[in-house]
Amino acid sequence: MIGTCLTLAGLQAHAGENDFSDSQRQTINKMIHDYLLENPEILPEAIQILQKRQKKIKLERNHAGLYQDGFSYVAGNKNGNATLIEFFDYNCTYCKRSLSNIEKLKREDPDLRVIYKEFPILAESSYTASKAAMASMKQGKYMKFHIAMLRNTGKLTEERIFEIARKVGLDEKRLVKDMTDPALDRNIKTNHDLAQAMGITGTPGFIIGDTILSGALPYAELVGLIKAERQQSALDQAPKR
C-alpha cells in the first residue's frame, strides 16, 4: 500500500515544472490526500522510511567530518572493519560509566576502530579538559590522560586537570603552551557543529554505522551494534546479482 502512495508522491516531486498541468497536479494531490485518509495505518511506516532516508543523508553529508577530520584521536585498530564514534564530555557521569565498556571493546575486538570526539557541553572545566586532552596528543599521552580524567571522581577544576596531567607524565609547561593553539578552539567548534548536524545533544553520543544513539549503553548492546554494522557492511560490499 505504501508503495502506491510513495510512487504518486515521487512522480510529483521529480516532475519538472511544466510536466503536469494544474489540473493534473490537483488530481495527483487529491489522490495522495484520499489515499492517506483511507489508509492512515501507512503513516507510521512512511515516517519511519523518511527518517531513515534523512539519517542516511546526514551521515553521507558529514562522513568526512565524522571519520576523517584530521584532529580527533583514533584508537584501537586504525584500519579496523568497524568504527565506533563517541561524543563525550569529561564531566559527564554517563561518559565515565561508558569508559570501561569502550576499553573492554578495544581489548576484545582487534578489528574495531574508536574515534573520540571532544564535545564539552556541561561546564567551563569541560572545555578546558578537552583543550588539554587535544594538546596532550603532541606529547603522545592522549589515551592515558583521557582515561585518567574520565576516572576522576572529584570535581574537575583547572587545578585538578593539570594535577592529572602531571600524574600521567605530561610536561605541564609544554601542555599549557600547546593549549593556546587557536586550532583547538576551532576543533571544538567543529565538533559542536557536527553534533548538532547529527542530532546529538547530550553525552555520551555514539555513532556505529547508520545507528546514532545517546546515553551509556550496555556492553552487550554495543557488541550487537558493531556486529550488525559488520553484517550490513558485508551485504553492501557483496556483488550485486
Both 51 and 91 in one domain: the answer is: no
Q: State which amino acid sits at residue 181.
A: D
Both 110 and 168 in one domain: the answer is: yes
Cα distance between residue 115 and residue 209, in whole Å: 13
pLDDT in tens, 177-222: 999 999 999 999 999 999 999 999 999 999 999 999 999 999 999 9
Question: Has residue 76 been placed in a domain?
Answer: yes
Query: CATH number, domain at 146?
Result: 3.40.30.10
pLDDT in tens, 123-172: 999 999 999 999 999 999 999 999 999 999 988 999 999 999 999 999 99
Q: What is the pTM of this model?
A: 0.79
Question: Has residue 241 been placed in a domain?
Answer: no
Give the neighbor-by-neighbor strand order of the sheet with 211-214: 73-76, 112-118, 82-88, 205-208, 211-214
Cα distance between residue 107 and residue 157, in whole Å: 31
Both 51 and 83 in one domain: the answer is: no
Question: Has residue 184 been placed in a domain?
Answer: yes
Q: How many domains does the chain have?
A: 2
CA 107 → CA 87, 102, 111, 200, 204, distances in Å?
Answer: 20, 9, 10, 27, 20
Both 123 and 173 in one domain: the answer is: yes
CA 12 → CA 2, 19, 35, distances in Å?
Answer: 16, 9, 15
Both 77 and 31 in one domain: the answer is: no
pLDDT in tens, 52-80: 676 678 778 999 999 999 999 999 999 99
Identify whether the C-beta of residue 98 lies closer than 8 Å to the C-beta of residue 216: yes
Both 34 and 74 in one domain: the answer is: no
- 211 Cβ contact partners less than 8 Å away, ≥ 6 residues apart: 225, 228, 229
6 C-beta neighbours (distance < 10 Å), count? 16
Cα distance between residue 126 and residue 194, in whole Å: 18
Cα distance between residue 23 and residue 200, in whole Å: 44
Range of the domain at 231: 70-236
Both 57 and 167 in one domain: the answer is: no
Query: Can you tell me which residue has the cell 553521507?
Result: 60
Q: Which of 226, 194, 228, 200 shows the shortest CA–CA distance to 212?
A: 200
Both 200 and 98 in one domain: the answer is: yes
Question: Has residue 224 been placed in a domain?
Answer: yes
Both 43 and 158 in one domain: the answer is: no
